[in-house]
Amino acid sequence: MKDAATPRRRGRPSRTETEAAPATRDRILDAAREEFSERGYEKTSVRGIAKAAGVDSALVHHYFGTKEQVFEAAIEVAFAPALAAPTAVEDGPLDTVGERLTRFLLGIWENPTTRTPLLAIVRSAVNNETAAAVFRRLVAAQLLRRIAGRLDLPDAELRAELAAAQLVGVAMLRYVIKVEPLASADVERIVERVAPVVQGHLTAP
């Protein structure tokens, strides 16, 4: 927390602030994720992110630019665990890829540490087209195309998108909307039911 006796200067960041870039940047991203999670994209402002991070709003613009760019950077960091999903396709035989991918992605949602920022991302994307466009761009470029590139099958991109749609739908109902009995069902039972469907999307003739 910034010492109250040292007022924050307005305007461009100082050399000292610039040299502290990695720590400051991380603090801004942490604050951004909290703000987007609590307020959603529409009600979050660069000024609010700066206040939560204990920095001047000019510093947020200096590191990230617009609110959209802050959101994209925050998503990329929070979404990083899910970006390892293509490895789940690669590591092991193709006839069991549905179970590996389902188990991997549901595991990310089951972990409270990784679930919280994902909830912020999904809620913002559902309620705001700008946030949705950022989310689509990130998911398409960094996740779906990477998975499709490992399938070596006809319509690989469509297959990857259908598999993702299946898993995102389950995640929405279980973790965001919390529809019962899905919300409280044992995760292993969900994997047992969903994995064959995902497998079909990815590898069925």
- Give the separation between CA 120 and CA 40, rounded to whole angstroms: 7
pLDDT at 6: 40
pLDDT at 68 over 50: yes
Q: Give per-residue pLDDT as tens, 190-200.
A: 999 999 999 99
- Confidence class for position 16, pLDDT limits 50, 70, 90: very low
Q: Please say whether the beta carbons of 143 and 164 come within 8 A.
A: yes
Specify the higher pLDDT residue, 87 or 100: 100
Confidence at residue 158, expressed as pLDDT on a 0 to 100 scale: 92
- Which comes out higher in pLDDT, residue 5 or 12? 12
- Is residue 22 pLDDT above 80, yes or no? no
Q: Are 183 and 163 in contact (CB under 8 A)?
A: no
Percentage of the chain lying above the pLDDT 70 cut: 89
Please check the confidence at residue 33 and state whether its pLDDT lies above 90: no
Whether omega before 181 lies within 30 degrees of 0, making that bond cis, reads yes
From CA 2, how far away is CA 90, in angstroms rounded?
47
